[in-house]
Amino acid sequence: MNTASFVAIDWFIIIAYLVFALGVGFYFRKRASKNLSEFLLGGRSLPWYLAGMSMVATTFAADTPLWVTEKVAQHGISGNWLWWNMLIGGMLTTFFFAKNWRKAGVLTELEFLELRYGGKPAQWLRGIRSVYLGVFLNVIIIGWVNKAMIIILSVFFDIPSTQAFWLVMLLMAFVAVYSSLSGLLGIAITDSVQFVIAMTGSIALAYWVLHDPRIGGLTGLKDQLPAWRFHFFPEINSVSSGIGTFSITLSAFLSYFVIQWWASWYPGNEPGGGGYISQRMMSAKTEKDAVYASLFFQIAHHALRPWPWIIVALASLVLYPHLAVEQAANGYVQVMRDILPAGWKGLLFIAFLSAYMSTISTQLNWGAGYLANDLYGRFILKTADSALRDKLLVRASKVGTVLLMLLAIPVTASIGTIDSAAQFLIGCGAGLGLVLILRWYWWRINAWSEIAATLIPILGMLAGKFFFEPHYGESWILANGTFYFTVGITTLGWLIVTYLTKPEPSAVLQSFYSRVEPKGRWKGMGYGAQNTFDFRLLEAWLYAVVFTYGCLFFMGYLLFGETLQWVLTLLVCLVSGGLLWRGFRQGRYDGL
């Protein structure tokens, strides 16, 4: 291993951080072992800022800056719209679903299924998804995060990828140890520290690379790259482009900005909440904490974090012009290796290490919760002794953590690229999103609706791979033909299934309505439910979306010296942010 570029201070920072993470695990181990609520939800005691920072830290995985670098190399700044569009659906979760998740009072997203649905279909759905989400899709996510860390280690230390692979496996085992000891509270606390370190390191890297004589600051960066690299928005053309401004067809535009954010399940951006985002909302102290945590997450995720990554990605194109697009992610790591001075190099490495660890610890804890609570606890564990049951469930969660870690090893080895894994997950959830939204708002949605919406996308993916791609070619796939097809057949399929099957029993719907008091179409069910909808939800959602996009573009235009644009976007931020703040101050959104 080439560690000549590390000095004593770098190693001290790295070792100190690892000791801190393990120490947190041991400190909270007794509390986490009390019961499953403590292990999975931290005893529902997280204040909004702790839950929110934990969300942000989890989504700042080791792969994220590398993927952003790939997109900047291919499409410039405009390539980030592939994930910037997800803000629309993310803010939907904040104002329409965060409070409901906290009020539901369940331990996991899958436990919610038997609150909303009843009978054997609800049990089958819970069992199927505990394996499908908790194991199958979860280990794919862990695998692509591992893949990114392998790239970082192999480039940063100039070692073979095989050696980097086994180092990452050892690191994943270390994460499994402290996450299985501390439970969610310990994970959230380490996440908060990881968030601060990761942001500090990312900003420091951008600062140092801009002060490199070969870059010459932001002005020099702009002078050395073509103007299209700095375009903030995609172009709508009839033909998709390769290298250049993110240029997409009208149908692809509709997919990304009109359909995908609500129609497709994707980890961290699930329509209606879900996954580890719902876990953090359920762990919040109060319903307001759940709302504020999600709001903070969406603003920080989309507006605060991107620009340091983007600046380094652009600089890497100047410093390493020989790198092909498919190797562009290596450029980010090479900047870390070649530019940073002693001390900062160790801190930046810890930033990526902490980003990796926060994501892996969350995925292991979340997936282990599904296996323990929704598979073992629901279908296998039969004891009626509550104390013994809690002990066995906590033990099962720890076993599940180790099992997921072991399953992730061969999956990591089989993943080709980070982007291919991400596209696979989007395909797996295409069309599922609308059911995840409407189950809160429409009494007629039943367990069979969700079963159909979960399974049909797999058929759409198979059709795209073995029929559409061979017959229509790659250009049709790039125009999102498969995605449209899958969303279409999934939506039609679950609607047909919904009307061909019986509604949920009245007693189940009444229990759900009484606990959550959801808005939407519930009137006439025989238990006093009403059709209600608070349009202030849409008002708050609109202000928050405009404010976050305004902050994002204000910072970008300010950095790159576009005076008129930054003044206009600052005004947008002030007006939309002021309206949102006034709404909270006046209590207009207290009923969220």
216: domain CATH number is 1.20.1730.10
Q: What is the pLDDT of residue 39?
A: 83
424 and 546 in one domain?
Answer: no
* Number of domains composing the chain: 2
Phi, psi (degrees; rounded to nearest 5) at 232:
-85, -20
Q: What is the pLDDT of residue 250?
A: 66
Say whether 248 sits in a helix, a strand or coil: strand
547 and 424 in one domain?
Answer: no
Q: What is the pLDDT of residue 501?
A: 95
In sequence order, the 6+-apart residues with CB closer than 8 A to the CB of 97 are 272, 273, 440
Q: How many CB atoms lie within 10 A of CB 160?
A: 8
Q: How many CB atoms lie within 10 A of CB 591?
A: 11
Residue where one domain finishes, among candidates 428, 450, 476: 428
Q: Which helix (H) or strand (E) holds 216?
A: none
96 and 239 in one domain?
Answer: yes
Q: What is the pLDDT of residue 117?
A: 95
**Is 581 within the bounds of a domain?**
yes
Q: What is the pLDDT of residue 405?
A: 92
pLDDT for 448-458, tens place per residue?
Answer: 999 999 888 88
**Is 155 within the bounds of a domain?**
yes
546 and 420 in one domain?
Answer: no
Q: What is the pLDDT of residue 300?
A: 93
In sequence order, the 6+-apart residues with CB closer than 8 A to the CB of 242 are 74
327 and 196 in one domain?
Answer: yes
Q: What is the pLDDT of residue 333?
A: 87
418 and 554 in one domain?
Answer: no
Q: What is the pLDDT of residue 466?
A: 65
Q: What is the distance, to the nearest Å, from the Cα of residue 273 to the centroid of all Cα atoms in its chain? A: 11
In sequence order, the 6+-apart residues with CB closer than 8 A to the CB of 208 are 339, 340, 341, 344
User: Contact, 394 vs 39, CB < 8 A?
Assistant: yes
Residue where one domain finishes, among candidates 393, 428, 463: 428
**Is 201 within the bounds of a domain?**
yes
422 and 551 in one domain?
Answer: no
**Is 484 within the bounds of a domain?**
no
Chain position carrying tokens 């009626």: 384
**Is 40 within the bounds of a domain?**
no
- Residues of the chain below pLDDT 70: 1-5, 238-242, 244-257, 266-268, 416-423, 425-426, 464-482, 524-529, 589-592
546 and 417 in one domain?
Answer: no
309 and 165 in one domain?
Answer: yes
Q: How many CB atoms lie within 10 A of CB 312?
A: 26
pTM for this predicted structure: 0.87
Q: How many CB atoms lie within 10 A of CB 146?
A: 27
Q: What is the pLDDT of residue 253?
A: 67
**Is 494 within the bounds of a domain?**
no
**Is 344 within the bounds of a domain?**
yes
Domain enclosing residue 232, as ranges: 1-25+59-248+285-428
**Is 578 within the bounds of a domain?**
yes
Quickly list H helices, 300-385: 306-319, 328-339, 344-369
* Cα distances (Å, whole numbers) of residue 451 to 96, 476, 500: 23, 29, 14
Q: What is the pLDDT of residue 3?
A: 47
Torsion angle, alpha carbons of 70, 75, 78, 84, to 10 = -40
Residue where one domain finishes, among candidates 388, 405, 428: 428
Q: What is the pLDDT of residue 2?
A: 45
What is the rounded distance in angstroms from the CA atom of residue 579 to the CA atom of residue 590? 15
Chain position carrying tokens 């070969």: 214
